[in-house]
């Protein structure tokens, strides 16, 4: 420990040292003597840490002899020197002036002599010399700006970032990208306004690049060498922390409003020590800190009345005073406000009149929504690609045409911010040198817990759900189970006059599977025996071919076709009455599935071909459970995407899905792999209202939606077949099996036309799913009599009239119809009346038709 030199340093020496500090050059001898009296000397050995990053600030230090290194540590613990200070310099002022923890650590580079001034004495000194506060704040602002930039550099991997940051800064400083007329109008306004110092507002829709435009204005202006600061007046994390500390449990709205106003005033104009509840320290506001530069006040319409008044005065006179301060201070900081425009509002500034200082509204830049300048999307995406590829250290140089098409077709409700996060996620999961359509995950709505209960909060359940070994065991057990069913069918074994194979598969397994779709979503798929077989096959080699492109194009249409064919075959060839055919059919399914999954990666059979997969995926949209990621956790904490990619120790998502982009149960097998892989507990398994997805999914899949009326259509021939009302043999049945789904699909398409041609795809995507409850109920009604037959067989009850279950069938279809009507009602806000009436009529007609057949 170096010796403290209490009086060893004569007052004259202290004065001499202090007067060497540039910052005190304007102070008179008397003031210097006073300061010297308060300052304490201390000697340090080389390499000693004087200040630790993150500590509370208790003193300011002046360097009399020697030098110091200012350094910060990044997340990985690596150290990086951000500044070197020498004799005549000072440090430790930031924490004292801002009230924040120490921004960096400071270490002596050799033996050094420092003079330190206690925080309390420093406060008194500043109060007596307000002009010094401004000098300190100028230096502080420069250091903050430099430190911010450097700190950003530390966040990721050092080497990769070094190159990037300089590029990124230049990028940010010199250009916005776009070609459209709307974009050029923005460029022109920026050009016009960047020369001056007048205040202005930038108005844009949610997620628009308002901050980038403000940044550009600053860096193109003569102020570019001075500080640029962004402050959110909406009250973020900092406000919440302050509120919690200052309010101390009280819940008085007026009190809260007062606190919020104090908080805003202090953020923008600063406060004197003791003026803010819950904090003793004084603080400089951003107007002072950014003197000579620019501040951006985000959400400037959220100004409390008192802070609005102060800002108004500042904008008119360039004068202000701190909260609790008496002295009038001056600064020359340019103020840019930003506002989020209400959707569809032509003149957004009108809406905000009275809520923000009028002088801000005199100059305005309006940013158009991304959807109105689709031609810009590709170039903006390229810029983000460049930025995030560099940030993540990847060599991705291109975006494929298909990916660009996907981006251009999307509606971008979250504008530039949404586009950037889509590209950032794409880069995260892309392993090659081109960003492909399969890397683009759209429609990420912020995760909301409303109407949801996360089952994974139950510890034992979570552990079982995320236990991949347990799932492997279940999958393994399913292979012999299915082989046993096939074997029993092959032997033709019969008990009490019924084939055991038929009973096991057609009377129990299939009807129970239908029930599982609605209760458990697509869970069956995760233990389907096909996995077991595929895994066995992969022991001898693995298929790494990507899925043929055509599958991507037709989506689930192929699987829907196979499903309809499957239903047709089982009735046309009387599988239930012929165990040999059942066995042959099951063997064919198993071999085809295992072969497809063996040759291609990412389970091509399950996603695009399997009738079970199609039914479970489509009906799972009605399920009472859903697996979703909390995307705010993912975007703020995750950089590895293990949920999707997996690592050496555990596989990634078997369906090639990114949980954060899930808006539907359709392709998620709820296998638990992502829950197992996610280190942040971001994945939820939520209970929800059955069918909630029909009205909550903002981007329903068009192809799947179109298959729903077809699936509803085939319920008619299925019920007729059960009722034995079809004459004319195989040809007539086949014809009916073709005609019914096509007729329903045709009528559905016509009903979608009532909203206008241009609206057809949107109407079809949304309304198709509204028919899902009725389609599901229809199929369940068809399965129910088989289940009943099986139950009677099992319990030895007499097989009264075969498949006679009119009562339960009517009940099931009736519930399906009401459920469909409810879904239609939830979907109705904002949709054309004509379309609603047409779909309402069609669904009612189909429902009544099914009720009639079910009752027969």
Q: Among residues 91 and 116, whose Cβ is nearest to ligand CMP?
A: 91
Q: Among residues 59 and 706, whose Cβ is nearest to ligand CMP?
A: 59
CB of 293 to ligand CMP, least distance (A): 16
What is the rounded CA–CA span in Å between residue 668 and residue 352?
Answer: 44
Find the helix or strand (DSSP H, E) in which 781 lies: helix 772-795
CB of 290 to ligand CMP, least distance (A): 16
- What's the token pair of residue 178? 């776009």
Listed ranges 97-105, 308-316, 373-381, 597-605: which one lies at the site for ligand CMP (CB under 6 A): 97-105
Q: Among residues 137 and 338, whose Cβ is nearest to ligand CMP?
A: 137
Check residue 281 for interaction with ligand CMP (CB under 6 A): no
Q: Among residues 104 and 304, whose Cβ is nearest to ligand CMP?
A: 104
Q: What value does the CA radius of gyration of the chain take, rounded to a whole number of Å?
A: 35
Binder to ligand CMP among 59, 95, 295, 594 (CB under 6 A)? 95
Residue 213's closest CA among 413, 415, 421? Answer: 415
Going 323 to 327 to 331 to 334, the CA torsion angle's sign is: positive
Q: Among residues 153 and 298, whose Cβ is nearest to ligand CMP?
A: 153
What is the arrangement of strands in the sheet containing 79-85, beginning at the earlier edge strand?
49-51, 105-108, 68-73, 79-85
Q: Among residues 166 and 852, whose Cβ is nearest to ligand CMP?
A: 166
The torsion angle over the Cα atoms of residues 499, 505, 506 and 511, rounded to 10 degrees, is: 140
CB of 48 to ligand CMP, least distance (A): 15
What is the rounded CA–CA span in Å between residue 653 and residue 601?
Answer: 12
Q: Scanning residues 59 to 78, which ones bind ligand CMP (CB under 6 A)? A: 70
What is the rounded CA–CA span in Å between residue 635 and residue 685?
Answer: 19
Check residue 106 for interaction with ligand CMP (CB under 6 A): yes
Listed ranges 82-90, 267-275, 455-463, 702-710: which one lies at the site for ligand CMP (CB under 6 A): 82-90
CB of 165 to ligand CMP, least distance (A): 15
The closest residue (CB) to ligand CMP is 83
The full 3-state SS of 243-298, as one line of letters, equals HHHHHCCCCCHHHHHHHHHHHHHHHHHEECCCCCCCCCCCEECHHHHCCCCEEEEE
Which residue carries 């008194």 as its tokens? Answer: 124
Check residue 765 for interaction with ligand CMP (CB under 6 A): no
Check residue 275 for interaction with ligand CMP (CB under 6 A): no
Helix axes 772-795, 760-770, angle to 10 degrees: 30
**Cβ atoms of 392 and 428 closer than 8 Å:** yes
CB neighbours of 724 closer than 8 A, spacing ≥ 6? none
204: phi > 0 → left, psi -120 to 50 → alpha, else beta; which?
beta
The torsion angle over the Cα atoms of residues 668, 670, 675 and 676, rounded to 10 degrees, is: -110
Q: Among residues 90 and 384, whose Cβ is nearest to ligand CMP?
A: 90
Residues that bind ligand CMP (rule: CB under 6 A) add up to a total of 18
CB neighbours of 123 closer than 8 A, spacing ≥ 6? 96, 273, 281, 282
What is the rounded CA–CA span in Å between residue 745 and residue 708?
Answer: 8
Q: Where are the beta strands (DSSP E) in 609-768?
A: 625-629, 683-687
Considering all CA atoms of the chain, what is the largest pairwise distance in Å, rounded to the nearest integer? 118
Q: Among residues 101 and 342, whose Cβ is nearest to ligand CMP?
A: 101
Which residue carries 């909390």 as its tokens? Answer: 630
Listed ranges 79-87, 118-126, 573-581, 624-632: which one lies at the site for ligand CMP (CB under 6 A): 79-87
Q: Among residues 97 and 843, whose Cβ is nearest to ligand CMP?
A: 97
Listed ranges 80-88, 195-203, 266-274, 478-486: which one lies at the site for ligand CMP (CB under 6 A): 80-88
What is the rounded CA–CA span in Å between residue 9 and residue 19?
Answer: 15
Q: Among residues 51 and 200, whose Cβ is nearest to ligand CMP?
A: 51
Q: Scanning residues 147 to 206, which ones bind ligand CMP (CB under 6 A)? A: 147
Binder to ligand CMP among 91, 517, 644, 819 (CB under 6 A)? 91
Q: Fill in the DSSP letter of residue 766.
A: H
Q: Scanning residues 119 to 148, which ones bind ligand CMP (CB under 6 A)? A: 143, 146-147
| Strand-pair category, 683-687 with 453-454 | antiparallel
What is the rounded CA–CA span in Å between residue 203 and residue 365?
Answer: 6
Check residue 838 for interaction with ligand CMP (CB under 6 A): no
Q: Among residues 89 and 693, whose Cβ is nearest to ligand CMP?
A: 89
Q: Among residues 50 and 335, whose Cβ is nearest to ligand CMP?
A: 50
Check residue 282 for interaction with ligand CMP (CB under 6 A): no
Q: Fill in the DSSP letter of residue 438.
A: G
Which residue carries 């996620």 as its tokens? Answer: 425
Check residue 671 for interaction with ligand CMP (CB under 6 A): no
What is the rounded CA–CA span in Å between residue 337 and residue 361?
Answer: 9
- 202, β-bridge pairs: 338, 365
Q: Among residues 82 and 530, whose Cβ is nearest to ligand CMP?
A: 82
Check residue 83 for interaction with ligand CMP (CB under 6 A): yes
Check residue 93 for interaction with ligand CMP (CB under 6 A): yes
CB of 225 to ligand CMP, least distance (A): 15
CB of 374 to ligand CMP, least distance (A): 42
CB of 216 to ligand CMP, least distance (A): 24
What is the rounded CA–CA span in Å between residue 616 and residue 593?
Answer: 16
Check residue 43 for interaction with ligand CMP (CB under 6 A): no
Listed ranges 102-110, 116-124, 384-392, 669-677: which one lies at the site for ligand CMP (CB under 6 A): 102-110
Listed ranges 87-95, 154-162, 435-443, 842-850: which one lies at the site for ligand CMP (CB under 6 A): 87-95
CB of 55 to ligand CMP, least distance (A): 8
| Binding characters for ligand CMP, 248-267, by CB under 6 A (x = yes) | --------------------
CB of 139 to ligand CMP, least distance (A): 8
CB of 266 to ligand CMP, least distance (A): 18
Q: Exposed, middle or buried: residue 399 (CB in 10 Å: 0-12, 13-18, 19+)?
A: buried
**Cβ atoms of 715 and 850 closer than 8 Å:** yes
Angle, CA of 38, 43 and 45, to the nearest 5° = 155
Listed ranges 21-29, 91-99, 210-218, 520-528: which one lies at the site for ligand CMP (CB under 6 A): 91-99
3-state secondary structure (DSSP) of residue 661 = helix
**Cβ atoms of 624 and 593 closer than 8 Å:** no
CB neighbours of 185 closer than 8 A, spacing ≥ 6? none
Q: Among residues 91 and 242, whose Cβ is nearest to ligand CMP?
A: 91
Check residue 612 for interaction with ligand CMP (CB under 6 A): no
Check residue 571 for interaction with ligand CMP (CB under 6 A): no
- 84, β-bridge pairs: 69
Binder to ligand CMP among 63, 104, 500, 530 (CB under 6 A)? 104
Listed ranges 89-97, 317-325, 382-390, 514-522: which one lies at the site for ligand CMP (CB under 6 A): 89-97
Check residue 102 for interaction with ligand CMP (CB under 6 A): yes
Q: Among residues 83 and 656, whose Cβ is nearest to ligand CMP?
A: 83
Q: Scanning residues 413 to 432, which ones bind ligand CMP (CB under 6 A)? A: none
Q: Please give the residue ranges that form the binding site for ligand CMP (CB under 6 A).
A: 51, 57, 70, 82-83, 85, 91-95, 102-104, 106, 143, 146-147
């Amino acid at each position: 420990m170096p010796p403290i030199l209490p009086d060893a340093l004569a007052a004259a020496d202290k004065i001499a040292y202090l007067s060497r500090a540039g910052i005190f050059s304007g102070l008179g001898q008397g003031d210097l003597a006073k300061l010297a009296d308060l300052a304490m000397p201390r000697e340090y050995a080389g390499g000693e840490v004087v200040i630790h990053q993150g500590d509370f600030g208790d003193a300011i230090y002046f360097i009399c002899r020697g030098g110091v290194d200012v350094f910060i540590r990044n997340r990985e613990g690596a150290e990086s020197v951000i500044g070197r200070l020498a004799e005549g310099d000072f440090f430790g002022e930031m924490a004292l002036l801002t009230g924040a923890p120490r921004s960096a650590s400071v270490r002596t580079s050799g033996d050094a002599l420092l003079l330190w001034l206690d925080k309390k004495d420093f406060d008194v000194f500043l109060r007596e010399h307000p002009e010094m506060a401004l000098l300190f704040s100028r230096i502080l602002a420069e250091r903050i700006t430099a430190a911010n930039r450097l700190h950003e550099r530390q966040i990721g991997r050092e080497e990769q970032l070094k190159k990037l940051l300089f590029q990124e800064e230049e990028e940010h400083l010199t250009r916005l990208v776009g070609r459209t007329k709307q974009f050029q109008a923005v460029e022109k306004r920026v050009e016009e306004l960047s020369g001056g110092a007048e205040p202005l507002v930038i108005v844009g829709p949610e997620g628009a690049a308002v901050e980038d435009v403000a940044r550009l204005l600053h860096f193109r202006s003569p102020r570019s060498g001075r500080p640029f600061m962004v402050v959110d007046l909406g009250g973020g994390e900092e406000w919440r922390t302050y509120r919690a500390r200052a309010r101390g449990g009280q819940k008085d709205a007026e009190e809260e409003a007062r606190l919020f106003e104090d908080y805003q005033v202090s953020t923008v104009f600063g406060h004197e020590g003791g003026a803010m509840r819950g904090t003793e320290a004084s603080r400089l506001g951003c107007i002072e800190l950014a003197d000579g530069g620019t501040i951006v006040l985000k959400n400037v319409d959220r100004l409390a009345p008192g802070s609005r008044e102060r800002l108004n005065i500042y904008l008119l006179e360039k004068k202000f005073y701190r909260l609790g301060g008496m002295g009038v201070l001056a600064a020359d900081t340019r103020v840019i406000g930003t506002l989020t425009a209400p959707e569809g509002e032509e003149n957004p500034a009108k809406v905000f009149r009275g809520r923000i200082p009028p002088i801000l509204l005199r100059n305005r830049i309006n940013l158009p929504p991304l959807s109105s300048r689709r031609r810009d999307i590709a170039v903006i995406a390229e810029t983000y690609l460049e930025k995030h590829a560099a940030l993540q250290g990847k060599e991705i140089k291109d975006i494929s045409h298909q990916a660009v098409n996907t981006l251009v077709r999307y509606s971008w409700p979250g504008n530039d911010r949404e586009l950037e996060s889509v590209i950032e996620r794409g880069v995260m999961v892309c392993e090659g040198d081109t960003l492909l359509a399969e890397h683009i995950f759209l429609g990420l709505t912020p995760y909301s817990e409303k109407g949801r209960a996360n089952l994974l909060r139950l510890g034992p359940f979570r552990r079982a759900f995320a236990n991949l070994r347990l799932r492997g065991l279940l999958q393994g057990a399913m292979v012999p189970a299915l082989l046993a069913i096939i074997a029993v069918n092959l032997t033709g074994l019969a008990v009490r006059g019924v084939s055991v194979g038929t009973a096991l598969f057609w009377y129990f397994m299939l009807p129970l599977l239908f029930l599982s779709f609605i209760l458990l979503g697509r869970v069956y798929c995760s233990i389907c025996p096909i996995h077991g077989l595929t895994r066995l096959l992969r022991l001898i080699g693995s298929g790494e071919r990507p899925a043929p492109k055509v599958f991507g194009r037709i989506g689930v249409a192929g699987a829907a076709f196979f499903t309809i064919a499957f239903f047709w075959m089982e009735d046309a060839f009387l599988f239930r009455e012929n165990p040999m055919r059942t066995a042959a059919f099951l063997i064919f399914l198993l071999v085809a599935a295992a072969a497809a999954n063996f040759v291609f990666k990412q389970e091509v059979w399950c996603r695009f071909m399997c009738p079970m997969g199609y039914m479970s995926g489509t009906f799972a949209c009605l399920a009472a459970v859903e697996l979703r990621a909390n995307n705010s956790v993912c975007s703020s904490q995750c950089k590895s995407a293990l949920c999707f990619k997996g690592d050496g120790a555990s596989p990634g998502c078997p369906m090639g899905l990114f949980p954060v982009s899930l808006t539907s149960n359709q392709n998620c097998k709820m296998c638990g792999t992502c829950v197992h892989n996610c280190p942040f507990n971001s994945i939820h398994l939520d209970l929800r209202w059955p069918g909630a997805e029909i009205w909550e999914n903002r981007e329903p899949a068009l192809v799947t939606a179109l298959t729903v009326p077809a699936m509803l259509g085939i319920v008619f021939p299925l019920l007729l077949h059960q009722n034995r009302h079809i004459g004319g043999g195989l040809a007539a049945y086949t014809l009916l099996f073709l005609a019914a789904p096509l007729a329903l699909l045709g009528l559905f398409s016509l009903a979608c036309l009532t909203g206008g041609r241009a609206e057809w795809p949107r109407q079809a995507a949304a309304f198709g799913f509204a028919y899902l409850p009725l389609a599901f109920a229809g199929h369940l009604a068809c399965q129910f009599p088989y289940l009943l037959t099986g139950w009677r067989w099992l319990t030895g009850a007499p097989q009264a009239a075969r498949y006679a279950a009119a009562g339960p069938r009517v009940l099931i279809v009736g519930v399906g119809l009401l459920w469909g009507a409810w879904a239609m009602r939830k979907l109705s806000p904002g949709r054309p009346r004509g379309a609603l009436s047409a779909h309402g009529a069609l669904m009612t007609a189909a429902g009544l038709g099914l009720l009639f057949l079910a009752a027969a």
